[in-house]
Amino acid sequence: MYEQVSHSLLNAILDDLKPEIRRQDLRHFYTRLGANFYAIYSLFFNLYGHREDFQQQMLNLVETMAKGYINRSSVLERVDIEREQDHNWFLSQKWVGMALYTNGFAENLDDLADKSPYFQELGVNMVHIMPILMCPTGKSDGGYAISDFRQIDDRIGDLNDLRRVAEEFRKRDILLVLDIVLNHTSEEHEWAKKALMGERQYQDYYFMFDNREIPDMFEQSMPEIFPESSPGNFTWNEDMQKWVMTVFHDYQWDLNYSNPNVFIEMLDIILFWANQGVDVLRLDAVAFLWKKIGSACQNERNAHLILQLMKDCCQVTAPGVLFIAEAIVAPVEIIKYFGEDAIIAKECEIAYNATLMALLWNGIATKNAKLLYQGVKNLPVKLERATWLNYVRCHDDIGFGFDDNDVRAVEYEPFAHRKFLVDYFSGQFEGSPARGMVFMHNDTTGDARISGSLASLVGLEAGLESGDQALISDAINKILLLHSLILSFGGIPLLYNGDALGVLNDYSYRDDPSKCNDNRWIHRPKINWERAELRKKQGTVEYTLFNALKKMIAIRKETSSFADFNNRELLDVNNEHLLCYIRFNHLRPSERVMVVANFDANPQYLDLEFISSKGINIYAHFIDLYSGRSPAQYDRRIVLQAYQFYWLTEI
């Protein structure tokens, strides 16, 4: 039934399209619209079918896609077609990402374009430039409180500069990643301002209530994101005399996706940025897109429907563009952002692997891989044509969001264990070399997260300060150990600005009134390029780290077993300090790499006899791809030094 209805509706819509749209050459557009229309219609109907203006909204939706298509350049259309033909292109091991703030890496966008040789030097070919759009000063949430979705912050540059970056990247085969902040706007966004003036149409873009009756009901089941600086999920607005839903900061107003106008506006913005030459869009805070009384207002089914609809619509206009889901939620929930109930990715092709990130940090603090093994074992299997973004650090805090059942399975008590982790990384635990800060301690629940740069969290800062060579060398080895895993795990590794140079905590945020309430700024550094020159000087920390990572990246790119085709086998090696998995070439399974990582501060050995049933030839000779040498081996036991890793192949 649906199908006929959708078909006749499609015909009616095509008849109704504005004449200027109809006059264009829309060949590819019509083909793709035809192929996706039934899905689009069904999703849109599911979300908005009860509305009287449904048909009109459906027409608006199609017009938005058509307009987006008309504005797509022929260069980008060629890219679309190439990628449609090679649709698994992003699963290749050739991609290596880095995330950065423009003004943390360079002076501005123009300077960033000039500095792009640095990416090539290291081997990075996918760059996530964090939010560049207009935000009110002092109320910016690091770029995530946007007051104009089409206007670049003029301190950073303008659209021409961004186009230059995109062109420069394309020349060098570097992918450009930008954010789309879907969940909220700044209170100074035009829509918010119109709402403030009392315009009903725009008040309906947000969640607004005259009194506490409904907010109080919501609060019963909603957690708090920033309990220290922005407690609660609603903010009283004096001018409107209304409570506004503000899940993040009080100046970030949540958008109401039960209103189709909001959806269509956002789609228009997505297509606008797709048409600027962006290859991958990072969709921010996607777990929060749907609010339902009685729920945590995260990971709601309708949030998934919205993402599916966005994907299908983007598929029609700009099919070469990928989505990254930023959903920092429980492991079983994250996986759904690839597409619930779908066989191929139907929401976001890429998702932050927050589970792995948290598990890696747990390994550092506990010096064993028990929970890491357990968590990786229980990672749900991904869809085909979907991949992880594997990272150690990013611009946000570290939350220890692994599954409590996994924590219990390895005999830790979840609450006490998380408290240990927070104590460890904030340096309060006896003997911990970490220099992190506690982020957003929640007095009611006892929860807390951690801020701090990678180098400072693994003890480099403490080591350098005390001149303790052993501590310095441990810190370097831990940084390499963590990267050896994100580079080999399966998925796209995402390095963080400064980490290849061992950049420490930046305490200057404390003196800036607009930043001092948010200690995530401690790990959002500005690169000192004079210092960065030390990467060329043997014997420096910068040299050691940079060159080791550069080498690892180069080897990853050559190792086809590291591509992501669900081709990882986790091994139980009967040694809780080691994490070990096999990556095999999905086309030639005999071609494989055994990854082993020692989280302990002492040497450990891998007993090959224990894993002989896994098809490992225990009499084989191994070679470590990273060092190019045979591993230390005695009698069928491979020895790893403290914090050492191997990428072993059999010869």
- Which residues participate in catalysis according to the annotation? 284, 326
In the bound state, the residue with its beta carbon closest to ligand GLC is 144
DSSP structural state of residue 565: S
Q: Specify the residue for token string 């550094």.
A: 525
In 378-428, which ranges are continuous DSSP H helix?
Answer: 404-409, 414-425
How many other C-beta atoms can be found within 10 angstroms of the C-beta atom of residue 507?
11
Tell me the C-alpha distance between 433 and 461, whole Å: 8
Phi, psi of 325 (to 5 degrees): -90, 125
Distance separating the N- and C-terminal Cα atoms of the chain: 60
CA distance 498 to 475: 15
Type of residue numbered 75: V
In the complex, least distance from residue 328 CB atom to ligand GLC, rounded to whole angstroms: 4
State how beta strands 242-245 and 280-283 pair: unpaired
3-class DSSP state of 511? helix
Q: Output phi, psi for 216, to 5 deg.
A: -60, -40
Report strand pairing: 492-496 vs 387-391. Answer: parallel
CB of 274 to ligand GLC, least distance (A): 20
Q: What is the CA radius of gyration of the chain?
A: 25
Residue whose CB is less far from ligand GLC, 99 or 541? 99
Alpha carbons 357 and 393: distance in angstroms, whole number: 8
Q: Look at phi and psi of residue 645 and say left if phi exceeds 0, alpha if psi is from -120 to 50, else beta.
A: beta
Which residue number, 255 or 379, has a Cβ lying nearer to ligand GLC? 255
- For ligand GLC, the closer of residues 396 and 474 by Cβ is 396
Which CB atom, from 284 or from 624, has the smaller least distance to ligand GLC? 284
CB 217 to ligand GLC: min, Å: 22
**Least separation, in Å, of the C-beta of 393 and ligand GLC?**
12
List residues binding ligand GLC (CB under 6 A): 141-142, 144, 181, 225, 248, 284-285, 326, 328, 395-397, 399
Q: Could you tell me the two tokens for 425?
A: 């990384």
User: Hey, how many other C-beta atoms are within 10 angstroms of the C-beta on 468?
Assistant: 15
Cα 308–148–70 angle (5° rounding)? 55
Q: What are phi and psi of 68, to 5 degrees?
A: -60, -40
Going 38 to 39 to 40 to 43, the CA torsion angle's sign is positive
CB distance 177 to 324 below 8 Å: yes
Q: Which two tokens stand for residue 244?
A: 């506004």
Write the burial class of residue 128 (CB in 10 Å: 0-12 exposed, 13-18 middle, 19+ buried). Answer: buried
Q: Which residues pair with 582 in a beta bridge?
A: 569, 594
Greatest distance between any 2 Cα atoms in the chain: 79
Tell me the two tokens of residue 310: 């966005």
595 closest CA partner among 386, 410, 372: 372
Shortest Cβ distance from residue 397 to ligand GLC (Å)? Answer: 5
Least separation in angstroms between CB 282 and ligand GLC: 9
User: Is the sign of the CA dihedral 405, 410, 413, 417 positive or negative?
Assistant: negative
Comparison of 98 and 285: residue with beta carbon closer to ligand GLC: 285
β-pairing verdict for 97-100 and 492-496: parallel
